[in-house]
Amino acid sequence: MSTARPIGVSVLAVLYFIAVAFYAVMLAMFIGSPGTLTAVLNSISPEGVGPSMLLTMGRALTIYFAIMIVVIGAVAWGMWTLKNWARWFTILITAISLGVTVVGVSSLMSSFTIVGLCVELVRIGLCVVILWYLFTPTVRAAFKGNSTSLA
């Protein structure tokens, strides 16, 4: 008996598929036009640690993007096909993101802006909503029939 995929799970799966496309575009940019990739990363987060960290990876960035395409692609497919391991992966990544964001709010105090605070609060809110959603009985039941572990 197959359980219908909840709409929120479909949304998360589609967002993962979009992330795969994003990583594929970034990989193509790195291979074809590294300067364009640098400009894009800096425009996405001009003062962020992420772009500068990525840009220091050099040729290893190809491997990073390829790994992200495979891993996130697998998770996207796992969410779409209601594999419980994909649900748990999403829970883990979201919990880590929540923790990092909460810790990051304290560093915001040294360079406080209303926009920065609002962005962090939205990130915290999204993490909390996603975690709550993935633990709801309906979502847990949808994944239960497709679980090989992590019940």
Whether pTM exceeds 0.85: no
Nearest to 64 by CA among 50, 80, 77, 49: 50
Quote the pLDDT of residue 151: 46
Residue 88 vs residue 107, higher pLDDT: 88
Phi, psi values for residue 99, rounded to 5° = -60, -45
Mean residue pLDDT of the chain comes to: 87
Q: What average pLDDT does this structure show over 50-73?
A: 87
Q: What average pLDDT does this structure show over 37-50?
A: 72
Q: What average pLDDT does this structure show over 26-49?
A: 80
Q: What residue spans define the domains of the chain?
A: 1-81, 83-151
For 4, residues 6+ apart whose C-beta sits below 8 A from its C-beta are 142
